[in-house]
Amino acid sequence: MKQNWNWAEKREKVAFLALADGTVMRGYSVGAAVDAVGEVVFNTGMSGYQEILTDPSYSGQFVTMTYPEIGNIGFNLEDMESRQLFANGFIMHDMNEPSNWRANETLSECLKRNKIPAIAGLDTRALTTLLREKGTQKAFMSVTGKVNEAAGLARAREWPGLDGQDYAAKVSCDKPYKWDPDGKLTTSWGSADKLPPTDLKIVAYDYGIKWNILRSMRRNGMDVTVVPAKTSADAVLKMKPDGVFLSNGPADPAAVTYAVDAAKQLLGKVPIMGICLGHQILGIAVGGKTYRLKFGHHGCNQPVKDLTTEKVEITSQNHNFAVDIKSLDSSLVEVTHVNLNDQTVEGLRHKKEPMFCVQYHPEAAPGPHDPFYLFARFRELIGS
């Protein structure tokens, strides 16, 4: 798993990132030899790049890691969050060799195998500052040498971006499946005998679901069947679930109209929990609206206050859109969580029907255990 990058190789693998605002940043290629377009975001996590790259919510995006040294833990099969890498591209300051006994391959090898382009050698501090000041940028990543900088800028500007785009259908599963019936994926570090017996039947919509969400529900005694994003509410209700879960996912929630329609039909007929995109879908389903954040929330250090307990949680987040608090009918829904950085909505609860949702990712454990109670709360909601 050697990946020693010498200066000759860096000169030979020259690459650039062209932003729609006219900025061009240069580095060297460390991933697949594939040019790509994407939306540039920055992630504030010091680690977790494998979980980031395998999170389907990053589909359509170029992820910039703000921590400068990336790659030292390599890639391994146990920490995957989905079946493959979904980000459109990866940006870092420096790529390291792995030094971890759990590594199956290097970061570079995995990027190449999954046909994901990546650039190292950029000033990621300067890029992050630009994104904070100007907002998320459409961009073109050139790693093949076949496109010059002027053409790269034109491609960045011509790309339609993620607004109004349904990416959930692109990353969703093709057919229903039962999650981990023997417990092997849920208990990679222990015995399946330690898992509680399943006594609740859950149907989970896959808009880009992360495996650790499924692991968390299984650890809470839930037998989970995952269904494709466009599965109708009628088809779900025929499965007679005890509860329905709406997952995380990429791009613009307002574009996933079929999911909003399904949520409206399910509301009041079965207990519902939503995370991230699922939270936004439920926000729209109860009459709210969503809007784009300037540069989004991407990272594992976002402080969120639970208004029902007054406790503050350190959370992991990945979203570019938020539910507009002013658009919500306070007689129907209650805001349960807020982001302490910008006061955006982080959680909702329906006042009349069994439904709640959160914008952040309770399964990601940055606290490391702060938000795990939410899966237990889902059990309580079903039992109430």
pLDDT per residue over 187-214, tens digit each?
655 555 678 889 999 999 999 999 999 9
Rounded distance between C-alpha atoms, residue 230 and residue 270, angstroms: 18
CATH 3.40.470.10 fits 168-383, yes or no: no
pLDDT tens, position by position, 315-352? 989 999 999 999 999 999 999 999 999 999 999 999 99
Residue 361 annotated to the active site: yes
Q: Is the pTM for the entire model greater than 0.85?
A: yes
Q: Give me the mean pLDDT over the 8-34 stretch.
A: 87
pLDDT tens, position by position, 140-197? 999 999 999 999 999 999 999 999 999 999 999 999 999 988 877 776 555 556 788 8
Q: DSSP readout, 247-265?
A: ---SS-GGG-HHHHHHHHH
pLDDT tens, position by position, 279-321? 999 999 999 999 999 999 998 889 999 999 999 998 989 999 9
Rounded distance between C-alpha atoms, residue 59 and residue 27, angstroms: 23
Residue 173 annotated to the active site: no
The pLDDT assigned to 1 comes to 53
CATH 3.30.1360.150 fits 7-158, yes or no: no
β-pairing verdict for 272-275 and 89-91 = unpaired
- Catalytic one of 93, 297, 298, 361: 361
Rounded distance between C-alpha atoms, residue 40 and residue 351, angstroms: 38
Closest CA to 344 of 301, 295, 304: 304
Q: Where in the chain is the domain with CATH 3.50.30.20?
A: 7-158
pLDDT above 90 covers a percentage of the chain that reads: 81
- Catalytic one of 110, 276, 300, 357: 276
Residue 369 annotated to the active site: no
Backbone torsions φ then ψ of 383, nearest 5 degrees: -80, -10
pLDDT tens, position by position, 27-78? 999 999 999 999 999 999 888 899 999 999 999 999 999 999 999 999 988 8
Q: Where in the chain is the domain with CATH 3.40.50.880?
A: 168-383
